[in-house]
Amino acid sequence: MNSERFGDGDSRYYLLKIAHEQFDCAPGALSEEQLQQADRIIGRQKHIEDAVLRSPDAAGVVVPASQVEEAWAQIASRYETVEALQQALDEQGLDAVGMRAMLARDLKVQAVLDCICAGLPDITDTDVSLYYFNHPEQFKVPARHKARHILVTVNEDFPENSREAAWTRIEAILKRLRGKPERFEEQAMKHSECPTAMQGGLLGEVVPGTLYPELDACLFRMAQGELSPVLESPIGFHVLLCESVSPARQLTLEEILPRLRDRLQLRQRKAYQRKWLESLLQQKATLENLAHG
């Protein structure tokens, strides 16, 4: 970690947080490019949080100590032992007291943002219905086909997997299956060269665009219980079995009503908070310009 760039305790805390939340790794594992990105995020985040905490709306906001301890416990739960947690803190030049102070700061910022939204109206069923009927494309469930496959790879470095030999093997497998399709799982376990062989060739419920285009195009024309012809992909030859078909459909309003209401409520809150922050930062910039002016 660059000690000059992230020299103060606050910055090291932010770096630890951003490394885990944005890059899913420890700060020491960040690349130079990621460190530069983290540096920009930290600068912006500090600027915003400072403005929020100095705003009149923050004056009466108090964060209970129990909330800080709960947040600290969540961080501690990421580590297998207390010693591992302490080692991680030591590596970043942090301590538990400083971490709790920064967590309290984070929680107060969020509490202020929650507080300014207290007067927002609730999203009604009418609001949800209007959004649903105006955006039908967002509530389409794609077709799903439950499928299994058998793969014989093509690799000219091995005689048994030459193109000709692989074709002969997959054709023999398909011939056996046409007579007894119920043996598909058994044949997959015996002959498939895909890791799915251990599950009888199970690919699971597949949506369009998941498989190689050659397989995808065939699967979504197949009926339940149908076997495919031999299909070729960049890795070899395949035989597909379509076990079931769930056609594309439109989710009903009743199915999505509670989740959509929560989503719209959250969107409304985020939009209001964003506008409030923009106004707050603009006021801060104006005051700073006057002070230097």
What's 197's domain CATH number?
3.10.50.40
In the structure encoding, which two tokens stand for residue 117, read together? 């939204």
The answer to whether position 16 is within a domain reads yes
- Last residue of a domain, which of 213, 228, 247? 247
Reduce the DSSP state of residue 61 to 3 states and report it.
coil
Name residue 146's beta-bridge partners: 205, 244
Residue 107 forms part of a structural domain? yes
- List, in order, residues 6 or more apart from 218 with CB less than 8 Å away: 228, 229, 231, 240
The secondary structure element, H or E, covering residue 141 is strand 140-141
CB–CB of 120/126 below 8 Å? no
Q: 192, exposed or middle or buried, with CB in 10 Å at 0-12, 13-18, 19+? A: buried
Beta pairing, strands 144-153 & 202-206: antiparallel
Please, what is the average pLDDT of the chain? 91
Q: Are residues 19 and 102 both part of a single domain?
A: yes
Provide the token pair at 146: 């439950």
User: Number of folded domains in the chain?
Assistant: 2
Pairing assessment for the beta strands 236-246 and 231-233 based on DSSP bridges: antiparallel
Residue 201, domain extent: 143-247
Of 157, 150, 147, the residue nearest 177 (C-alpha): 150
Domain for residue 267, yes or no? no
pTM (predicted TM-score): 0.67
Dump pLDDT digits (tens) for 97-125.
888 999 999 999 999 999 999 999 999 99
Asked whether 187 and 176 are in contact (CB, 8 A), the reply is yes
User: Could you tell me if 105 and 151 lie in one domain?
Assistant: no
Sheet containing strand 144-153, edge to edge, reads 202-206, 144-153, 236-246, 231-233
In a domain, 187, yes or no: yes
Residue 63 domain flag: yes
Query: Are residue 15 and residue 88 in the same domain, yes or no?
Result: yes
Q: Provide the pLDDT for residue 65.
A: 94
| Domain shared by 153 and 193, yes or no | yes
174 with 104, same domain: the answer is: no
CA distance 107 to 100: 10
Q: At what angle do helices 184-191 and 163-179 cross, to 10 degrees?
A: 160
Is the distance from CB of 225 to CB of 242 less than 8 angstroms? yes
Residues 15 and 81 in one domain: yes
Whether 181 is covered by a domain: the verdict is yes
Given 97, 116, 135, which residue is the final one in a domain?
Answer: 116
Residue 237 CA to residue 173 CA, distance in Å, equals 11
Last residue of a domain, one of 99, 116, 133: 116
Say yes or no: 57 and 109 in one domain. yes
The tens-digit pLDDT sequence of the chain (293 residues) is 444 456 566 788 888 888 888 888 878 888 999 999 988 998 898 889 999 999 999 998 999 999 999 999 998 898 889 998 888 888 878 888 888 999 999 999 999 999 999 999 999 999 999 999 999 999 999 999 999 999 999 998 888 889 999 999 999 999 999 989 999 999 999 999 999 999 999 999 999 999 999 999 999 999 999 999 999 999 999 999 999 999 999 999 999 999 999 999 999 999 999 999 999 999 877 777 766 65
Q: Is residue 270 part of a domain?
A: no
Inside any domain, residue 282 = no
